[in-house]
Structure 1
Amino acid sequence: MAANHPSFPEFDPDEVSSNPSANRPFREVVEARLSRRNVLRGSTAAAAGFLAYGAGAGAPATAAGRGLLGFTPVPTSDADKVTVPAGYQAQVLIPWGTPLQPDGPAWRKDASNSAAEQAQQVGMHHDGMNFFPLGRGRDGSRHGLLVLNHEYVQPGILYPDGDKVITQEKVDKALAAHGVSIVEIAERGGSWRVVKSGLARKVTGNTPVTYSGPVPPGHPALKAAGPPRGTLNNCSHGVTPWGTYVTCEENWNAYFGTEDASWKPSPAQARYGINNVGFGYRWHTADPRFDIATNPNEANRFGWVVEIDPMRPGSTPVKRTRLGRIKHEGAVMTTARGRVVAYMGDDQDGEYIYKFVGSGSWRLHRALGRSPLDHGTLYVARFDDDGTGTWLPLEYGKGPLTAANGWQDQADVLLRTRTAADALGATKMDRAEWTAVNPRTKDVYATLTNGAGAGNAANPRTPNPYGHIIRWREKDADNTATTFRWDIFVLAGDPAYDPRVKLDPADIFGSPDGLWFDPDGRMWIQTDISNSSQNLASKGYDNIANNQMLAADPRTGEIRRFLTGPRGCEVTGVITTPDQRTMFVNIQHPGETTAAWGESTPANPQGVSSWPDHDPAGRPRSATVVIRRTDGGVIGA
């Protein structure tokens, strides 16, 4: 999921495609698909009984008690606060800088904590997360590990004096604020808090890591200055059937650059958006590890899905190379026929949707001491005009991925996953973000935040600022299948600016990003409106206002707004305790510079937001919000 780095307040780098292939974009497929049939509100698509474009979105609720959504929706908001429905309460938990242990180094509101202290504190810019219960039954819903990603850092907030001057200490602090935080939390006296733990730890940009699969440790492409370290730009996540956590490296190209005026990116580097400035962090000026000219293979160490065992604090994170090297938005996992299946989006305009299917029983692999994520096939999706689709195998020696076409082996295919997908003719997507699998039907949903647009009846925005959600059903509802049928679940937007949008004006939203199904089958939708568009009438986002979270009933198409976030933030990451009576939601980068509200600077860090502390001497902080019903009931019901 993308957010503006302070050096680039006017645009989102993920909205700029680095895909030079002539592969067909999804918007053209949608146009052709929907021109073949009449699209009427409430009509049913031929594809697997799916709702047609706009069919259920904003439709009236079913009779009282029959639908999945039982809360009163909240209105849109431009206020600098978190709003939840009547009958719910919200508590701020583990904001950036919270010590991992209750007796750890305290956060300093002037941002003067050292790199060493930051390594013992919760990181910055919370993203995907999961709750791992510690205990059975009711105890497991009152005590557990919260494992959460940290996507990136905001230098003007992270350092007291900003990033005008970059030092090794500043790079180290930024690295310590990235990665994954593992904290033990418990409900005590009616509120949640961090408790002393032998499991709490950080996995940062400097943590030793290893590799598995076709690109193993010691592979020539991974040989760089120093041993392999760290995970960066940790966006969404996944949870394996065997109880480990996977974190996904998204905009890893952001951190590399060079002052060498003679350096030019190779075609492989350019395909991943690597250039001489990255996103403007300038780490390479203090740390040669990130100088792409002098240490080019360091970039090959990123772009992977990283497996972490939260119950083994001494274990080494493993980058599972079988799942490919892209800008991973997430890796949501399910099982079918005893095999593990992972769905993944590549979050940049014009990129693709992928699926990994394990070979053989995941339980057998585990019993034999092997990782199920090292054995299987990576596929990329092609969406066809008639509502069908095909998963194309990214396997060396098959189709165009041969030695005659310049491919060396399976490691080469996975190191250059994007180029391999180009060669197979995959369908370009409008920024594929999170995926989610309906636990009841096994249908798969994916958010497409925004894209280039097409100016046609199916996707009539040029550019497309609002995005949409697609879904597909694998053949025979078998998630290991290689064919599927697809349709659009909802076209996001504001009917005041686009009358083709079928959302009720009370439940409008744009730029869908985070996506998660709870065990009852509610689909939770989180938004990431770019700070260059948020709250602006000129961008069609004034009525939608701040970022938000909504809940959808896939059976009826009904959508209701559940939460609104503070100014400048993104709402991302959601999970509940097993009893579904406590929900955790992440608020990322509140107070980041926005076109509507102004600039956040080292001299005035609260130029946009002061959430959550609202301390005149402080600064905005990403945080997890704990949401509960005042009557103790199931969230959303």
Structure 2
Amino acid sequence: MPDDLRHVDYDLEAGDEVPSNTSANPRFTDIAEARLGRRGMLVGGLGAAISGFIGAGRPAAAQGSSQGGAQAASQGPVIGFKPVPISANDTVVVPEGYSVQVMIPQGTPLSGQPAGKTPAEMTAAEQGMAIGAHHDGMHFFPIEGRHPEQGSSTDGLLVLNHEYIEPRTMHARAKGMSIGSGRMPVTDDRREAEEVQKEINAHGVSIVRVARQADGKWAVVADPRSRRITAATPTEIAGPVRGHALVRTKYSPDGTRVRGTLNNCAHGYTPWNTYLTCEENWAGYFRNLDQQDQKPNLPREQARYGVPTGQGRYNWDQAANGADEFIRFNVSSTGADATQDYRNEVNAFGWIVEIDPFNPGAMPAKRTALGRFAHEGIVFAPAREGQPVVAYSGDDSRFEYIYKFVSARPFNRATANGALLDEGTLYAAKFNADGSGEWLPLVHGQGPLTAANGFADQGEVLVNTRLAADAVGATKMDRPEWGAVDPRDGRVYFTLTNNTRRTEAQVDPANPRARNQFGQIIRWREANDDHAATRFAWDLFLIAGPEDSSRIAGNASVNADNMLACPDGLWFDADSRLWIQTDIGESEQLKGDLAPFGNNQMLCANPITGEMRRFLTGPNGQEITGVVTTPDRRTMFVNVQHPGATTSPADWAAGKPNTSFPNGSGVPLSATLVITKNDGGIIGT
């Protein structure tokens, strides 16, 4: 491992991957410096250096319209609310004229019946029929079930991810223990099986029918389509990796199935009205104890993704009953071949999983043509009849890559289904210093992706997506997270949350910021506005941070009403407002250089002018994540994840969590906010 990976303090949060990219590929920070010039990276000179580098440009929608219409389009969407201030208070704050309802905290029964029990009081089976933990990406599907963005705005299926868990809020025995936001203590190297099963059942995805009631409040409505997809749900392996030798296990000797989906972070939805959940930091759930010469001996498809060689994230493989569904998280080689153990179990994770919310009988499917990595989410370009389907995804780990998938077959709305995601070309992005970029195909037999270089077939390319991207020379990025496509001009935006690569010892007059603590948002426009193109032009929409060292496109001012750090969640509404959510890590919230940014928040930006205003701030210890509106844009859903995660072990033992969200008492739980405008208007106006 190079020195700059071995010795840097990366401020890793619980569950985050240890950086594992040792390739010589260029880092994005080097590309940006080459384009801006070293003087341009100075804090004081940043604005002048990038005044031409960050630009707005005329939206494609304005082309050919009337003069008045073009002028209106060129100004972008209206942002009409009064910004809320930065807050370190333990509460949810929204602008004047807006109201907030809290809905479906962890443990809410899908039946619509009152909860009755807290998550700590629930059995594993009860948790498996209730809303899971740590709400993340989500989408509202109108109840008609015909189109993901059109239909009822008062009744629908809300589908949401559950990224990971907070064990100390889930188990009765955690009360009074001095434990942090991590794993439960293990006794005699074993864990209670019921406890492990409950944690497994709190992962995955919830599909729950919700509807607006006569009093204007939203509530869960009983529906046979409401259900849970957990870390144990039988799931199909689809696409080029289906049946491959690298996914054959004792459970599925033919390599066609796996149990469950893990660490479901952001999401996507398809033009044919299905939901896509994305597996992010999945590698840490497993462990491999294989050794050679008294040293860890991991195959490359585990080593490049950071599978632990000691304890797993939650020690699920150590359940006391030794059941097969738990043993599978130990991916050591213990049998005669791969069909006699679970050495390949981990290779069935790291994918994007398609779920049909309206068909409980349809098995979830892992769409392997989209690549295997730490998927933050997936976002589609607008689907056009007769054109390929195009989707973008980021690998949320330091020094990893941005990817694009282009389907082999064209889109036809009348016949489109998930099979479109099983054939096509996966590309990795290369960003050049002159503002140009290119998409590098990850196709077996092309360039270095040959048997001679260790890629025997396309299945091996996809199981080892990161290694394939290393080989073709993709650009290392600063934690690519959520993506969004502007509905007006088709530009693609991605958040790059942060990267604390630069140490204090490396500070010099040209580089006064010791670490990229604050992040940025990159965007690009595909050649000829064709999302299937292999070339693009890029710039930066936002360089985040304090007022004196941050910048927004269009020369918009950065001030107390809009400064932010660590951009993460990203979403465009139908009017082209860009909603930006932040994720300042648990270890950094309200501390040091990140203290001035307060609790995590959500902002709204005009992508044309760069105007940006803070819309929401959340309670203590949380991450604001997941955002979507009903089709009429008059109801917005936003998730509050892991509130109270910053509670110290001592305070937890004393029964003093640092937030009472969402119930005003008891242990903190993730939940969904329902935001409406008091006058019934469109959110954001």
**TM-score normalised over the length of structure 1:** 0.90
8 Å Cα contact 1:249/1:305 also seen in 2: yes
Cα separation, 1, equivalents of 2:682 and 2:416: 40
Cα separation, 2, equivalents of 1:292 and 1:49: 51
Tell me which residue corresponds to 1:359.
Answer: 408
Match of 2:514 among 462, 466, 470: 462
Shift of 1:258: 5.2
Change (3 A) 1:212 1:233: same
Change (3 A) 1:489 1:610: same
Shift of 1:398: 0.2
Tell me which residue corresponds to 1:4.
Answer: none
Aligned-partner residue type, residue 419 of structure 1: L
* CA-to-aligned-CA distance 1:14-64 (integer Å, 9 cap, x gap): 47411010110000000001129895389444888499xxxxxxxxxx9xx
8 Å Cα contact 1:438/1:521 also seen in 2: yes
Tell me which residue corresponds to 2:387.
Answer: 338
The alignment partner of 1:359 has SS state of strand
8 Å Cα contact 1:307/1:317 also seen in 2: yes
* CA-to-aligned-CA distance 1:496-543 (integer Å, 9 cap, x gap): 6x477962133111110000000000000001100111011x2x1111
The alignment partner of 2:403 has SS state of strand
Tell me which residue corresponds to 2:301.
Answer: 268
Cα separation, 2, equivalents of 1:139 and 1:266: 48
Shift of 1:280: 3.2
* CA-to-aligned-CA distance 1:73-101 (integer Å, 9 cap, x gap): 00011111111000000000101000011
Please say which of residues 444-453 and 350-359 is displaced more in the overlay. 444-453
Unaligned runs of 5+ in 2: 1-9, 41-45, 60-71, 175-183, 253-257, 320-325, 335-341
Shift of 1:264: 3.1
Is 2:579 the partner of 1:529? no
Cα separation, 1, equivalents of 2:578 and 2:519: 17
Tell me which residue corresponds to 2:664.
Answer: 614
The alignment partner of 2:173 has SS state of coil
Cα separation, 2, equivalents of 1:601 and 1:277: 29
Is 2:163 the partner of 1:151? yes
8 Å Cα contact 1:527/1:570 also seen in 2: yes
Cα separation, 2, equivalents of 1:44 and 1:179: 44
Change (3 A) 1:210 1:312: same
Match of 1:285 among 318, 341, 348: 318
8 Å Cα contact 2:272/2:416 also seen in 1: no
8 Å Cα contact 2:301/2:463 also seen in 1: no
Tell me which residue corresponds to 1:82.
Answer: 92
Aligned-partner residue type, residue 583 of structure 2: D
Tell me which residue corresponds to 1:515.
Answer: 570
* CA-to-aligned-CA distance 1:559-587 (integer Å, 9 cap, x gap): 11000011000000000000000000000
Unaligned runs of 5+ in 1: 1-7, 52-61
Please say which of residues 412-421 and 8-17 is displaced more in the overlay. 8-17
Tell me which residue corresponds to 2:185.
Answer: 164
The equivalences for 1:14-413 within 5 A come to 14=16, 16-35=18-37, 40=48, 43-45=51-53, 49=57, 68-103=78-113, 106=115, 108-109=117-118, 111-135=120-144, 140-162=152-174, 163-165=184-186, 166-188=191-213, 189-216=215-242, 218-227=243-252, 228-257=258-287, 263-277=296-310, 280-286=313-319, 287-293=326-332, 294=334, 295-334=342-381, 335-336=383-384, 338-363=387-412, 367=415, 371-413=419-461
Cα separation, 1, equivalents of 2:16 and 2:34: 26
Is 2:505 the partner of 1:448? no
Aligned-partner residue type, residue 498 of structure 2: N
Aligned-partner residue type, residue 144 of structure 1: G
Change (3 A) 1:601 1:374: farther
Please say which of residues 225-234 and 235-244 is displaced more in the overlay. 225-234
The alignment partner of 1:363 has SS state of coil
CA RMSD of aligned residues (A): 2.7
8 Å Cα contact 2:372/2:465 also seen in 1: yes
Shift of 1:494: 1.4
The alignment partner of 1:613 has SS state of coil
Aligned-partner residue type, residue 152 of structure 1: Y
* CA-to-aligned-CA distance 1:374-411 (integer Å, 9 cap, x gap): 12100000000100000000000000001222210000
Aligned-partner residue type, residue 289 of structure 1: R
8 Å Cα contact 1:492/1:503 also seen in 2: no
Change (3 A) 1:504 1:588: same
Cα separation, 2, equivalents of 1:66 and 1:428: 32
Cα separation, 1, equivalents of 2:210 and 2:119: 26
Change (3 A) 1:481 1:158: same
**TM-score normalised over the length of structure 2:** 0.84
The equivalences for 1:462-541 within 5 A come to 462-495=514-547, 498=549, 503-536=558-591, 538=592, 540-541=593-594
Aligned-partner residue type, residue 268 of structure 1: E
Tell me which residue corresponds to 2:179.
Answer: none
8 Å Cα contact 1:97/1:121 also seen in 2: yes
Aligned-partner residue type, residue 250 of structure 2: A
Cα separation, 2, equivalents of 1:443 and 1:363: 23
Aligned-partner residue type, residue 33 of structure 1: R
8 Å Cα contact 1:493/1:503 also seen in 2: no
Aligned-partner residue type, residue 40 of structure 1: A
Q: Identity, % of aligned pairs?
A: 50
Aligned-partner residue type, residue 126 of structure 1: H
